Structure formats: C-alpha cells, structure tokens
C-alpha cells in the first residue's frame, strides 16, 4: 500500500485542504480504513480501488473520522489527481469517471486545474424552525443577518445560511460543541467588482463533538453553486473564497456550462507521493 498527500483548492501551495489518498488497499476492511482515517485525522481520507462499474475509470471510498461518506468534493478532486499522477489513463481523453457511493461523477481538466460535475441535490427546501435554530447556534450567526436558510445536501447533509455580505460571513463566531453529523455552512456576496464573488465558511463536528471549520469544502461549494445558479442568484461563473479564518487561502471556481451542468474546480497539487504503508498490527485481519 502507498499513501499520497494532495493539497486541494489552495490558491497557493499548502494553503488548501489536505487529503490523504491510499493506493493498493483492496484488502483492507471497513474498520481498518476507518482506523487509518482516524489516525491521520484529516477531514477525509480516500481509498483508490478498481471500479466495479464498467463505465468508471476508478472507484473511491471516502472516509472521515466518524465513518464513510457517499460523496465529498475535495476528496473527489484530490483522488482523481492522485490516480492520474500514479499513471491512470481515463477511457475518454480529458474526462475521468469516478465511481463512489453516490454513483458516477465526472472529473475533467480545466487548464492546470481539475473540476467535478456537481451532483444533484438530494435534499432541498427551507430549514424548519428547529433546524434553523441549531444552524444559528452552531455558526454563531444572528437570525437578523440571515437572508435565506436552505438544505443543499448532496452527500453530506449541508444546511446553508445565506447572509447579506461576505463581511458578515467572516465575522461569525461558531459554537465550541455540536453533535456528530453537523454540517452547517455560510455564504455571502463580496461587493460588486471584487475578484471573488462569494465568501464561504463550513462547520462540522468531530468525533468528540467539537466544532471544526473546514479549510475549503468542495461538497458545500457544490451545493451552494447548484442552489445559486438554479435560483437565479448567480450566472455564468464565479469564484468563491474560503479558509482565511483558519489559515487557508482557498479559491473554488464554480461555473454553469451551456448544457446547464455545474462544475466545481480548483488547483490540486501533490505534497508527497508513494509513502509505503507497512502491514502493521492494525491492518491484520
């Protein structure tokens, strides 16, 4: 087995969201995959596997310290990057087909970056009063600042609070504790003429119930982009910034093509490649 480290969505080196990618782990059990994920303690670790669907180029299983996810954004781009770097050749030139728990996801090259086709939302509509109250508590946002509160779930169960300004997004002070499974994000527009269209922040709870802020979040940005484009709140393309409150400098490119598909892209870069994972005790049956 080999371990790669990939920096995803960083506008400059080592300022994106780190991802661990394991190659050659076909013999690992679910419990062993989760144990390694918990030890690494990144927001996600992925395991590249041979596809079981003939239409796919590769299969990926996506774990976070609390379990497995059917889909996640920065693991999708980072896993594709690692697969290509390891010599993977897609069936279709310039487009790789990833198989994951959510089905098949297209990943394409865009200049020097990668972009995935945003999956459809699996839950939409406004938050109810109880959901809104909890989202406000977790994010530390005052209700008067909220323009819209909606579900934008696409694997993770993201709850979006749309605020009036990017400044309000950056001023939020999240709560220290929340239940495992919490996925709450904020989005607000930058002033007209800015280099960035929107500012994004995303909060989740770790296995100890502590609220963490994700550096740069592909799945939440994808859910937000689908919501914004489909509701006429964005057109063409825009760039979202994320991570400056936790020392990251993430830039996420969001675009809607002529056929209506929404693409979420950004820079991916190898930090380390091919570290050998020994058959230590935890990996034995």
* Positions marked active-site: 44
Q: Are 90 and 245 in contact (CB under 8 A)?
A: no
> Is the four-CA dihedral 222, 228, 231, 235 of positive or negative sign?
negative
Q: Which residue has the tokens 């002529």?
A: 258
Q: Are 275 and 284 in contact (CB under 8 A)?
A: no
Name, in order, each residue with C-beta under 8 angstroms of 1's C-beta and a sequence gap of 6 or more.
22, 23, 24, 25, 28, 276, 277
Phi, psi of 117 (to 5 degrees): -80, 120
CB burial readout 24-59, b (16+ within 10 A) else e: ebeebeeebbbebbeebebbbbbbbbeeeeeebbbb
Could you please report the per-residue DSSP string of 197-250? SEEEEEEEE-TTSBEEE-SS-HHHHHHHHHHHHHTTS--SEEEEEE-GGGT--E
């Amino acid at each position: 087995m080999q371990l790669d480290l990939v920096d995803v969505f960083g506008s400059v080196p080592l300022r994106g969201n780190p991802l661990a990618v394991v190659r050659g782990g076909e013999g690992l059990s679910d419990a062993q995959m989760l144990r390694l994920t918990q030890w690494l303690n990144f927001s996600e670790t992925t395991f590249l596997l041979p596809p079981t669907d003939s239409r796919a180029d590769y299969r990926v299983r996506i774990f976070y310290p609390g379990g497995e996810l059917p889909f996640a954004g920065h693991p999708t781009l980072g896993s594709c990057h690692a697969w290509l770097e390891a010599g993977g050749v897609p069936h279709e030139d310039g487009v790789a087909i990833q198989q994951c728990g959510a089905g098949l996801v297209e990943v394409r090259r865009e200049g020097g970056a990668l972009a995935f086709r945003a999956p459809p939302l699996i839950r939409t509509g406004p938050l109810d009063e109880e959901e809104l109250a909890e989202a406000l508590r977790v994010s530390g946002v005052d209700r008067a600042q909220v323009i819209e509160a909606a579900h934008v779930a696409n694997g993770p169960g993201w709850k979006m609070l749309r605020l009036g300004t990017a400044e309000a997004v950056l001023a939020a002070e999240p709560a220290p504790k929340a239940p495992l499974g919490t996925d709450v994000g904020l989005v607000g527009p930058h002033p007209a003429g800015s280099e960035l269209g929107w500012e994004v922040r995303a909060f989740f709870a770790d296995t100890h119930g502590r609220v963490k802020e994700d550096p740069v979040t592909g799945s939440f940005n994808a859910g937000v982009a689908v919501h914004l484009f489909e509701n006429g709140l964005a057109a063409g393309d825009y760039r979202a910034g994320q991570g400056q409150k936790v020392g990251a400098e993430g830039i996420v490119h969001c675009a809607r093509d002529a056929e209506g598909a929404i693409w979420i892209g950004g820079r991916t870069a190898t930090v380390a490649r091919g570290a050998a994972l020994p058959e230590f005790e935890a990996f034995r049956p």
